[in-house]
């Protein structure tokens, strides 16, 4: 496994177990987290980034026709399963 993948996995694991972001640069480098230390995040609980899914987008933008048109138009963001009429399922 590549070093970047290990660090990404470490960050996700620590976020899942409600790990707090290191309070000092020394703690940050000892934790082997990727990137550089961010003083604004010091001591705060780490969170996983919110994935971009159709559910999160509809929640953010509302259940409107324009939202769905944007999702369908995003290079197949929704995939082909939404293009099949329900009578064929």
Q: What pLDDT shows up at residue 68?
A: 83
* pLDDT averaged over every residue in the chain: 76
Q: What is the pLDDT of residue 44?
A: 86
**Domain extent listing, the chain:** 3-41, 54-88
What 3-state DSSP class applies to 45? strand
Cα separation, 65 vs 33, in Å, equals: 41
pLDDT of the residue at 33: 80
Residues of the chain with pLDDT under 70: 1-18, 74-89
Kindly report the pTM of this predicted structure: 0.44
């Amino acid at each position: 496994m590549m070093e970047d993948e290990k660090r990404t996995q470490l960050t996700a694991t620590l976020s899942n177990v409600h790990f707090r972001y290191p309070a000092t640069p020394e703690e940050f480098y000892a934790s082997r987290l990727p990137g550089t230390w961010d003083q604004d995040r010091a001591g705060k609980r780490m969170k996983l980034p919110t994935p971009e899914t159709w559910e999160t987008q509809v929640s953010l933008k509302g259940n409107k026709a324009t939202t769905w048109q944007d999702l369908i138009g995003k290079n197949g963001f929704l995939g082909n399963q939404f293009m099949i009429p329900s009578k064929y399922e």
